[in-house]
Amino acid sequence: MIGIPATIDNDVYGTEETIGFDTAVNTAVEIIDKIRDTAISHERIFIVEVMGRKRGFLALEVGISVGAEVILIPENPIKLTDIVNLMEENAKKGKRAGIIVAAEGFGDTSKLAREMQGQTESEIRLSILGYAQRGGSPTARSRLLASLFAEKAVELIYQHQGNRAIGLQDGKIVSVELEKSAKNRKPLDLRLLEVAEMLAT
């Protein structure tokens, strides 16, 4: 058996990127760019929920790419008061609009929107992207990755190597033990949250 990682969550241990992740990121970015136009014109704060029930890889990369003011992921719990304070500080600087990108695994975004509305004068809106992130035409990046992963899988089969998982590491197509990939948790670089915060100010 040869495993090929294909999930928009990008949470498979042993590979830096999974098939479909780049497509999902680009799809979400395209939609959120349009939402930001509305947020700016109506001076509203939009909470945009993206997929990621257990991990925040998708929300983190999308959030950085769209310049979100706040990124909410399961790996980094944030109190409601901290979120409200941050958005109010932005308002004092003249930023009346804002984008909050939240992974679905962070919590109940509907409840978050209601609670934020009760603690701020800004208009809060919620947009759940849902399954739109999973559809559409694959990006060139996702197609290339799928082709390279498939080539490596066939190569391993010809070499009579089984129980391996294909992955991308340091720009190279590699394989790791399937059991190791299945049993280990892929680390998320939380330092990227600091980068996102710096870019949003």
| CATH code at position 36 | 3.40.50.460
Same domain assignment for residues 103 and 144: no
Same domain assignment for residues 60 and 144: no
Q: What angle do CA 168, 136, 32 make, to 5 degrees?
A: 90
Q: From residue 152, how far is each of 16, 20, 61 by CA, in Å?
A: 16, 18, 27
Q: What is the pLDDT of residue 136?
A: 81
H-type alpha helices, the chain: 21-42, 57-66, 80-92, 109-119, 140-158, 178-183, 191-200
For residues 34 and 48, what is the distance between their CA atoms, to the nearest angstrom?
A: 12
Same domain assignment for residues 28 and 14: no
**Average pLDDT, integer, range 26-55:** 95
Q: From residue 142, how far is each of 3, 22, 71 by CA, in Å?
A: 17, 6, 24
Q: Match 């098939």 to its residue by tokens.
A: 19
**Average pLDDT, integer, range 130-143:** 90
Q: Return mean pLDDT, the chain.
A: 94
- Domain containing 113 equals 21-134+189-196
User: 189 an active-site residue?
Assistant: no
Band the pLDDT of 120: cuts 50, 70, 90: confident
Q: Which of 9, 22, 33, 170 is catalytic?
A: 9
pTM of the model: 0.93
How many independent structural domains does the chain possess? 2
